[in-house]
Structure 1
Amino acid sequence: MRKKTLMIHGGISRDKTTGAVSIPVSHASTFKQDGVGNFKYEYARTGNPTREALETLICDLEGGVRGFAFSSGMAAISAVMHLFKSGDHIILTDDVYGGTFRLATKILSRYNIDISFVDTSDAQKVNEAIKLNTKAIYIESPTNPLLKITDIRKMAQIANENHLQLIVDNTFATPYWQNPIELGAHIVLHSATKYLGGHSDVVAGVVVVSSEELANEMHFVQNSVGAILGPDDSWLLIRGIKTLALRMEEIETNTKAIANFLQSHPKVKKVYYPGFSTHTGYDTHKNQSRGFGGMLSFDIGSGHLAEQVLAKTKLFTLAESLGAVESLISLPAKMTHASIPKEHREVLGITDGLIRISVGIEDVQDLLDDLAQAIE
C-alpha cells in the first residue's frame, strides 16, 4: 500500500470480533488467562489491544520490525537511552531539541553516559568524534529550530562501519515525508504529540526499530520502565494518523508561501526553511525526503522585536509544541530551547531574535495577513 492508504488501512485497522472500522478502546488493566502462561494479553503495561493497534500502525508507516508507544516524546527518547549503560558514549546532533539536550546533560550524565554534541551535517566531524566507547549516533533531520539537514544514508554508513546504532528523531519530517529506516537507520522515534496526533489534544511518543534483536530489547525496556501510552491516547493517535497525509500536504503548501513572504520582507534578517534551494543541505534533504515539511524559523534581529511580533499575531498562537492543525509561533531562546545555555545557543545561531513557526492548515492568505500586520 502507498502511504496515504497505509495510514487508513495499516496496522490493525478494524476489530476482528465485531468488524468495527474504528478500533475499540480497551480500558482493561488485566486479562483472563486460559491456564498459566496461556494468554494473548497478560497485563496492560505489557500489552494492550488499542496500544498494539497503534504500535502496529506506526511500525507499518516507518517500515520497521516493531513499534512501541510511550506516554510522551521525551518518554520515548528516554526509553531509547535505556538501551545504553554507564561508560557508553553517544554522539548527538548539536542543534537538538532543548528537552533532548536537558536529558543528555542533566540526567544521562548522572549515569556516566558520555555525550558529545556534534554538527552531524558534517560527516568528517562525526567520524572524528567517535571513541572506543561510542555506541550510537543520534540525529534530528531537519533539526529544531534551525532546520539543519543531516545525510541519513551517510550516518548509517558510518554507524555500520563502526558497529553503532543510528537513532533518528523524525518528528519534523513525519513518516509521510521521510522514512529513516529505509535509509539505513536502526531506530526512529517521534514526539507523536506533534504531527502524528496533529490536533493539540494528545501527548505521546513512538519508537520503531529495524531488527528483532532491538525489538526484544526495546520491549524489555518499555515493560520494565513502564512509561506506556494509555488506551484513550492510543486511540486518539490512530485517529490523527488517518489524516496525516492530507494535513502534511496542505501544511507544506502554506509553509512555502509563508517562507517566500518572509524571505522578501525587508525587516526579516534571515529565514531558515529546507525548501529553499539556498538552504544548506537542500540537495541532501531532497534526496532523502519527499517533502519539506511545515516548520520554519526566521530572525527578526533582536529579542525585543521578536517579542513584539509574538504579541501582535492574532491567528498564530503563542504556544509550546508544533505540528498541529492550528498555526503556532514561539521564541526558541526563551521557550523550547531555554534549557540550552545562552552562549551555546548563540554559537548554534539560536539568537534572541529567532522566531519559530509551525504552520497549520488555515487559509494561507489569512496567515500571511496576520504575519504582515504583526511584523509591521
Structure 2
Amino acid sequence: MRQNSLSYKYGVTVSVTFWLHPGSIILRAAIDIDGLEIILEKEKADHPDKSSALALFTEFPSNPLLRCADLPRLRALADKYDFLIVVDETIGNLVNVEVLPYADVVVSSLSKVFSGDSNVMGGSLILNPKGRHYSELKTYFAANYEDSYYCEDATYMERNSRDFSRRIRVIDANTQAVCAFLHSQPSVKTVYYPKYTTPEHYARCKRPGGGFGGLFSVTFHDPRVSEAFFNALPCHKGPSLGTNFTLACPYTILGHYAELDWAAEYGVEKGLVRVSVGMEDQKVLLDGFERALKVAVDSIKD
C-alpha cells in the first residue's frame, strides 16, 4: 500500500509516489531530472529490500505550460528502480503523439478533443502489453473494473469520435498559425506551445505527420496587455479545453487565485492566458487574434 507521495516538478507536471515518507515533498522547478535520479538512488539505498517508488505520473505535454518530460530517460529510470509510468496524453492526443512505448499505463480524457462537442464525458485507460507489470495490472483490472458507462453516453461518444482524426488536423493547423502570429509579436513575452517548448522531448513521441495539438498559453511583457487581450478575444471563455470551438481562460487566476506566488514559482504567471483552439476558419481566427492584440496594445497607450 502507498503511504505518502513525493512530487517532482521541473517545468512539467511529474509526480512520483514512494513507499515511505513522513510527508509530501515538492522539488522546485529549478531541479532537473538529475535531481530525481539522486532521490531515487537515495531511496533505494535507504530501503534496499523493496522498490522505493511505486509510480510516476506525467502529462504529455503539460497543462498549462505545454512542456514535455523526457520520457525515454524516465522509462530508463522506471526500469532501473522498478516503478510504473502513467502518462496522460489528453493534450497531445493519440493522433499526434505515441507515448505507449514509454508508459505502463496511458490515460486520456475523452471528454476533451476526442469528443469535441462538449456534450458527453468519458475517459480511457490503456495498459502496455509489453510492460513489465502488464500481467499484474491486467489481472487487477479484470477483477475490479466495473462497466458503468451509461449507454447513451457511449452512443454520443462513439458518434462524436468518428471524425476525430480529421478534426485534429484542422485544429493542429489553426493552432500552429495562431501561435506563429503571436510568437512574432514584440508585446508577447512567451508562447507556450510544444513546437517552442521542450521541442526535443515532444519530437521523440511525435507521430509521422502529427502536429502539436490545439492548446497553447501566452504571456505578455505588460500585465495590462494580458488582461485587455483576454477581454478582447472574440471567442468563448471558459476553463475547459479540446472543444471544436476556440475557448480561452485566464488560467492562473481561475486555477490558483489563492496561491499566485506558489504558481509563479513553477513559471505559471498571473497574467497567463490559455487558449484551446477550435475548428473555425483560419483567416477568421487570425483576424480575431490580431484585432484583440491591437486593442490590448493600444489600450496601454491611453
TM-score tier after normalising by the smaller chain length: 0.7 to 0.9
Cα distance in 1 for residues equivalent to 2:31 and 2:204: 14
Alpha-carbon deviation of 1:114? Answer: 4.4
Correspondence for 1:333: 252
Corresponding letter in the other structure for 1:123: I
Secondary structure of the structure 2 residue equivalent to 1:135: strand
Cα distance in 2 for residues equivalent to 1:120 and 1:140: 19
Cα distance in 2 for residues equivalent to 1:373 and 1:219: 54
Alpha-carbon deviation of 1:149? Answer: 1.4
Correspondence for 2:233: 313
Unpaired runs of 5+ residues, structure 1, are 1-84, 105-111
Corresponding letter in the other structure for 2:287: D
Kindly report the root-mean-square deviation, in angstroms, between the aligned alpha carbons of the 2 structures.
Answer: 2.8
Equivalences for residues 48-87 of structure 1 within 5 A: 85-87=1-3
The percentage of counterpart residues that share the same residue type is 24
Corresponding letter in the other structure for 1:217: Y
Match of 1:128 among 34, 38, 41: 38
Give the aligned length.
Answer: 273
Correspondence for 2:140: 217
Correspondence for 1:89: 5
Question: Does the 8 Å contact 2:12/2:68 carry over to 1?
Answer: no
Corresponding letter in the other structure for 1:270: T
Cα distance in 2 for residues equivalent to 1:302 and 1:206: 40
Correspondence for 1:299: 219
Deviations 1:250-287 (A, max 9, x none): 111111111111011222111112223xx3x2122112
Which has the higher relative contact order, 1 or 2, with Cα contacts under 8 A spaced 6 or more apart?
1
Correspondence for 1:193: 111
Equivalences for residues 346-365 of structure 1 within 5 A: 346-365=264-283
Cα distance in 2 for residues equivalent to 1:244 and 1:251: 10
Higher mean C-alpha displacement, 242-251 vs 202-211: 202-211
Secondary structure of the structure 2 residue equivalent to 1:246: helix
Distance verdict in 2 for CA 1:93–1:175, change over 3 Å: farther
Match of 1:375 among 272, 293, 301: 293
Distance verdict in 2 for CA 1:119–1:238, change over 3 Å: farther
Question: Does the 8 Å contact 2:57/2:86 carry over to 1?
Answer: yes
Deviations 1:112-134 (A, max 9, x none): 88464565994312212323532
Corresponding letter in the other structure for 2:97: Q
Cα distance in 2 for residues equivalent to 1:354 and 1:272: 10
TM-score between both structures, scaled by the size of structure 1: 0.66
Match of 1:161 among 58, 73, 80: 80
Question: Does the 8 Å contact 1:92/1:138 carry over to 2?
Answer: no
Alpha-carbon deviation of 1:221? Answer: 4.7
Correspondence for 2:204: 287
